[in-house]
Structure 1
């Protein structure tokens, strides 16, 4: 709801002139702060422990950076006649992004999956995305993406260096971070809203919204829903075929099917020209909303099923009438 409200605010009161310049500088700052906090949150010990489950993490990374981009190429080709080239490229761009961190972990926990593995998998995906996403974008998007010396320097300065600084500073601020999680959540969400407002303000000032009709938005939503359904089905099937236990299967489905708005918006702001940015990130914003709604339903249902199974197991392990009743 906050994202939709921010889009509405940018449509009615877009930043112009000096305000737009100040907003641009503020956006650069909050993006760096966001990735600094990502680095500070990732415990090196937890990351090392997570490497032990390398098979699970390899499949999740393959879902994020191999399966998704392949589906994205197909979706771009199929949707371009309906959506137009800009929105179709936006669909392809969202498939190149890393997995989410907070929602992947939250859904895994709600569905009673392997939370520790989810923490590691989501963190690995975000870290890999700093390098992999721009590299993939330069290959599959060609001239639409701005990957030159200045873009690489911007990505390094805004994303990679703050992440490394957060890892270095973790030894001094880890306790403070653990004690101020609500504040950090506010920073996470606030940074996303600021980038959304900046991107859509530029789009409104440039007049790009006159080219987006209601029918195209509906077609875009269907395209995003189809992408999510395909990846959920593929990860569910792969987790069963590869013989993962139920907790790891839950982790694979939720971490392998997400795309990060928090990482994607800053990357798009660096990689794409300002007047194209709002259309390029619109598919990502829609996909983000759809994945949250769908995965909330799935996580709650799987969590109830797991809780019911544990209760039956507990009763069944007791002798006498209770065992017979449970069997009945």
Structure 2
């Protein structure tokens, strides 16, 4: 019974595994141009997800977080400069020992923006600067529309294929940014409805991601992309994700303390600066790489990194919360 309850709690991670398994046995159904026409369905789904993100963003909380410019610079540099530096240093090594699609998947992971919901949630649990986290996570998502395609163009060149940068930025803006703006504009009228149906609204992004993962893996299975992939390669990918997260978390902690950040700002910096978005990363990849059959392997690093970051950051958030409670107790004694 405890095992079943655990599966229910982690239904999204289980769902990703099920989606991959279904793709192996039914790739013709979900592939691009297949019977289910998931390429069109997921496009509508992604627009809906970011409309709901815009609907949920509190302008008041964002305004409260604007003034802390040192925190903003720190987080955005961590996301769009320090993380990509990992690829600059180790990219040639990845390409030497991995299939190119998997290696470029790590490149894609490193240039993605931060998450919104889980960054803010972890900051809240860790007694951090929540307005600062809301502002920076939102800013990261907006900047990512422009910076992520630019860095991909700079780093990848995906086996000689040229990325139409302007077309990608326009497509991503239409897919992610425009629905977000519309959601923000309609917030005064629809927020009450969204809050009433919070249990359903909060799961829409996960349902859409599962559909995109299924579709991407159907394409890659149908085209035989996984024929040379091994268990040892999967294990290596998991280890790389975990090591990168550990290095980034503890590096940002060290730098935050050296720059004189108080603990609330450190908490926001660590959680916003180390997280990478699966919710935006999957649809962005669909836009940037189109129906490329290697999309499934390209998405593997962010799919592995996502549960690792959630687990480790949850542990870290609880440690921060305990430290904050201890400090409050000492202050009252």
Q: TM-score, normalised by structure 1?
A: 0.90
Selected match of 1:277 from 291, 295, 298: 295
1:149, distance to aligned residue in structure 2 (A): 5.5
| Matching of residues 14-29 of structure 1 within 5 Å | 14=27, 15-16=30-31, 19-20=34-35, 22-29=37-44
2:147 is the alignment partner of 1:132: yes
Residues 67-216 of structure 1: pairs in structure 2 closer than 5 A: 67-142=82-157, 143-144=160-161, 146-148=163-165, 150-216=167-233
CA deviation map 1:153-210 (0-9, x unaligned): 4223212221221122122212223333222211121111111111111111111111
- CA separation of 1:200 and 1:154: change in aligned 2, threshold 3 A: same
CA drift of 1:65 comes to 0.4
Unaligned 5+ segments in structure 1 are: 317-328
> Does the Cα contact within 8 Å between 1:87 and 1:280 map onto a contact in 2?
yes
Q: Which residue of 1 aligns with 2:11?
A: none
Q: How far, CA to CA, are the matches of 1:67 and 1:90 in structure 2? A: 17
> Are residues 1:42 and 2:60 paired?
no
Query: Cα gap change, 1:300/1:12 in structure 2, threshold over 3 Å: closer, same or farther?
Result: farther
Q: 1:321 matched to which residue of 2?
A: none
Contact 2:113 2:141 in 1 (8 A): yes
User: What is the CA distance between 1:249 and its match in structure 2?
Assistant: 0.5
How far apart, CA to CA, are the structure 1 residues paired with 2:246 and 2:90? 13
Say if 2:133 and 2:268, in contact at 8 Å, map to a contact too.
yes
Residue 238, structure 1, aligned to residue 255, structure 2: yes
CA distance in 1 between partners of 2:147 and 2:165 (Å): 15
Gaps of 5+ in 2: 1-13
Q: Aligned pair 1:254/2:271, yes or no? A: yes
| Residues 215-257 of structure 1 deviation map (CA, whole Å, 9 limit, x = unaligned) | 1111111221221122112211111011111111011001100
Give the 3 Å change call, closer, same or farther, for CA 244–183 of structure 1 in structure 2. Answer: same
Counterpart residue number, 2:9: none
Stretch of structure 1 that moved more, 305-314 or 159-168: 305-314
SS of corresponding position for 1:95: helix
Counterpart of 1:217? 234
Query: How many residues get paired?
Result: 315
TM norm structure 2: 0.89
RMSD: 1.9
Counterpart Cα distance in 2 of 1:190 and 1:281: 16
Query: What residue is the counterpart of 1:6 in the other structure?
Result: 19
Change in CA separation of 1:153 and 1:118 when aligned onto 2, cut-off 3 Å: closer
Higher Cα radius of gyration: 1
Shift in Å, 1:141: 1.4
Who is 2:317 aligned against? 299
